[in-house]
Structure 1
Amino acid sequence: KTANKKIPGDIAIVGFANEPFGEYISPSLSTVNQQTVQMGEEAAKLFFESFNNKNRFDYNPRKLVLQPELICRQSSLKSYEL
């Protein structure tokens, strides 16, 4: 506001973490969902698999890619009316 800019009219804002408050502020905040819950679940699975492995030195690294999700809300929409 102090820069005399309007969101999203003059500038678009996108957050990065999908914090719960983002949908309740005005204008609601567009964000990137990092899939943190799924990330934690997968990390726990890998931990317990390695913990339960009889031969702890027999480690097979795995690559797991979680797809981020863009959640478009009012802070990045050109058509949003203030």
Structure 2
Amino acid sequence: METIEKLQKILQDVFDDETLVIDEHTSAEDIAEWDSFSHIHLCAAVEKEFGIRMTTEQAIRVKSIQDFLRIIEENHSGTL
């Protein structure tokens, strides 16, 4: 399963919406339920799924799927 597909599953779970479809340009502005509370759940779920740890600064700056992709890549580039 590709990274974007894993992220889509995470968002579907967090927002309890199996019909939710995302791409790299999807942002918090596109999903009404993406508020500060769900943001915490998203960050925790991404960390767990990808085996990474986000800094507080990284978590605060995440506003889109593209941001999550960048953080995942940065965290995995050091382990390759």
Instruction: Answer yes or no: same fold by TM over 0.5.
Output: no
Larger gyration radius, structure 1 or structure 2: 1
TM-score in terms of structure 1 length? 0.26
Greater RCO (Cα-Cα under 8 Å, separation 6 or more): 1
Structure having the higher helix fraction is: 2
Structure having the higher strand fraction is: 1
TM-score in terms of structure 2 length? 0.27
